[in-house]
Amino acid sequence: MSKQIFTGNFTQQEPIPEAAIAAAVDVMRSGRLHRYNTAPGEAGETAQLEREFADYTGAKYCLAVASGGYAMGAALRALGVQPGDKVLTNGFTLAPVPGAIASVNAEPVFVEVTDSLVIDLDDLSAKIASSGSTVLLLSHMRGHLCDMDRLMEICDAAGVKVIEDCAHTMGGAWNGVPSGRHGLVGCYSTQTYKHINSGEGGLLISDDEEVMATAVMLSGSYMLFGKNGAAPPVDTFENVKYVTPNVSGRMDNLRAAILRPQLADLPAQIARWNALYRAVEEGVRNTPGLQVIERPDAEDIVGSSIQVLLPNASPDAVQAVVAGCGARGVELKWFGAAEPVAFTSRYDSWRYAPAQSLPKTDRILAGLLDMRLPLTFSVEDAKLIAEIIRDEVMSALPQAAE
C-alpha cells in the first residue's frame, strides 16, 4: 500500500487581509510613509499601532521599530548594558537573541534549558551568581513559557533586570499575565513567520518611563518624540534627549498599516493555531520513542509551531525520521545537527560568543524536532501530518515500538 503524502507548503503564509491592503494603499497614495511625516492633526499609522499594541498587552508604553532584533538591541542599550558586560540568555534560542547581545558588544552567558524547552531556573540561579550579570534576555523560544512567577522571584531577589524576547509568544500568557509583561521590557517581532506579518518589524513595550524614553530616542525620533503614539510624557525626555545616540530603527507607516488589522484579528488567529497544534499533539501522543512536550495549565499558548523529542534516538535515527517525513511532504527541523541548517543554529554555532558547555541542553537538542504550523493548513491537514510523523518515527525506531 502506498504511503500518504502531504502536499501543503510549510512556508506559505495567509494573504495579508483586505483591510490591511486597503490601509497600505491609502498610505502609499498619501506619500507619507515615514512615521514622522504626518499632516497636521494626523496621528499616523505607526503611532496608532503603538497605542493599540500597548492597549492589547496592558503596557503603558510601546515603540514600533524595524525588527524584533532591533527591539532587543534597543532594550539592552536602554538598560545601560555596556561593552564587555555579561548578559544571561537561554542556551536554546535563535541567532537574533545572542546577536542582539553582540550588537552592543556584550557577552552572552548561556543558561541550560529543560525537557520542556524553557530556561532551567536552577541553572539560572547558579549562572547569576557565577557571572555577576544583572540583565537576563529571556527567550520564550518556540512559544514555551517557563514559570514566570518563580523566574521573576529569582531575578528580583538578585537585582537582575529581565528583557523578554516574545517573538514566538505574542498573544500568549502565564497565569493570565501577557507574555512581555513580567519583565521590565517586552520585545516582539512582526517578521513574516511571526503572529502578525509585515515582512520585517518589531515592537517594544515597557512601563518604565526612562527606559522607554531612551528607546524612543535610540530609534531615531530626533526631537519629534511628541508624535509617538504610546510614549512617556514629553518632560521625561529632558534627561535623555541630548545624551542618547540616534541608532535609527523606526517602523514606517506602510508596515504599521499592514499590521493594525492583523492585530485586531489576532485572538481569532490564535484559536486557529491552537486547533492545529492540538490536532498534531494528540495525533503523535503515545507514539513509541516520541515524547510530547506537555504544556502547563498556567500557560496560554499560541501554537504557531510544535516541538517533539526523540529522547533516546541516535543521530542516524533522528535523521531518518526527518528524511522520511520530508519525502512525504512534512518539513521537520532538527536542532541536534553538527552544522547549522537554515534557522536551526544553536549556541555552539555562535562563535562570536565565548565557548561554553551546556550538557543538559546538548542532550535535549540531540532529539529535538521542530515544525511550523502555518494557518494555510486545516485541522485535517494537521491530523495527516501527525499520522505521517507517527509512521516515520515507528519505522525509524522499531525497537521503541517493541
**Complete DSSP assignment for 41-73:** T---HHHHHHHHHHHHHT-SEEEEES-HHHHHH
d(CA 282, CA 306): 12
pLDDT of residue 339: 85
Torsion of CA 373, 375, 379, 385, to 10 degrees: -30
Of 210, 164, 211, 206, nearest to 189 by C-alpha is 164
Question: What pLDDT, on the 0 to 100 scale, is given for residue 353?
Answer: 95
CA distance readout (Å), 260 to 163, 239, 302: 24, 32, 19
List, edge to edge, every strand of the sheet that includes 135-139: 61-65, 202-206, 185-189, 161-165, 135-139, 86-90, 107-111
Helix (H, G, I), strand (E, B) or coil at 31: coil
* Domains present along the chain, CATH in parentheses: 18-261 (3.40.640.10), 266-401 (3.90.1150.10)
pLDDT in tens, the chain (402 residues): 579 999 999 999 999 999 999 999 999 999 999 999 999 889 999 999 999 999 999 999 999 999 999 999 999 999 999 999 999 999 999 999 999 999 999 999 999 999 999 999 999 999 999 999 999 999 999 999 999 999 999 999 999 999 999 999 999 999 999 999 999 999 999 999 999 999 999 999 999 999 999 999 999 999 999 999 999 999 999 999 999 999 999 999 999 999 999 999 999 999 999 999 999 999 999 999 999 999 999 999 999 999 999 998 999 999 999 999 999 999 999 998 888 888 888 899 999 999 999 999 999 999 999 999 999 999 999 999 999 999 999 999 976 655
- What local confidence, expressed as pLDDT, does residue 2 receive? 74
Q: Evaluate whether 262 touches 56 at the Cβ level (below 8 Å).
A: no
Half-sphere exposure of 283 (CA within 13 A, CB side): 21
Question: Residue 353 is placed in which grid cell?
Answer: 560568543
Most distant pair of Cα atoms in the chain: their distance = 74
The separation between CA 273 and the C-alpha centre of its own chain, rounded to angstroms, equals: 15
